[in-house]
């Protein structure tokens, strides 16, 4: 899995705060940063995006957390540690309890920078 082109992740949601609970080992290849950085620093991942991409990402995430959607895909660019842009597809799925409250967001980041 660590050599997969997709980076798997999960974020737990307590109704107030979204916290990374798992980030794949291949995060370093995608971003140039150790995965512990994303776990320790709140807002690290959205901070790699430009403002317009961040707004689209946040809108989808808000819908998932509110229980308005179960799945969504968003495409955006992040800034690699070396300064180069990386185009990413982010596929997210909400995990809900029996009452429809979101407990967790599972997803995968895929680097699509090299696509034609």
Q: Which residue ranges make up each domain of the chain?
A: 6-111
DSSP state of 114: T
pLDDT tens by residue, 62-114:
999 999 999 999 999 999 999 999 999 999 999 999 999 999 999 999 999 98
Of residues 82, 80, 70, 68, the one with CA closest to residue 109: 80
Of residues 27, 62, 69, the one with CA closest to residue 48: 27
Taking the whole predicted model, whether its pTM rises above 0.85 is answered as: yes
pLDDT tens by residue, 5-53:
899 999 999 999 999 999 999 999 999 999 999 888 878 999 999 888 9
Of residues 40, 58, 42, 61, the one with CA closest to residue 50: 58
Q: What dotted CATH number matches 6-111?
A: 3.30.450.20
């Amino acid at each position: 899995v660590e050599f997969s082109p997709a980076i798997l992740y999960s974020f737990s949601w307590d109704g107030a705060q979204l916290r990374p609970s798992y980030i794949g080992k291949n995060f370093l290849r995608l971003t140039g940063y150790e995965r512990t950085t994303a776990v320790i620093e709140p807002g690290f991942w959205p901070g790699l995006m430009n403002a317009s991409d961040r707004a689209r990402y946040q809108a989808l995430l808000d819908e998932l957390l509110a229980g308005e959607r179960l799945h969504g895909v968003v495409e955006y660019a992040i800034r690699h540690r070396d300064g180069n842009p990386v185009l990413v597809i982010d596929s997210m799925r909400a995990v809900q309890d029996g009452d429809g409250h979101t407990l967790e967001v599972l997803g995968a980041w895929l680097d699509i920078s090299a696509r034609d």
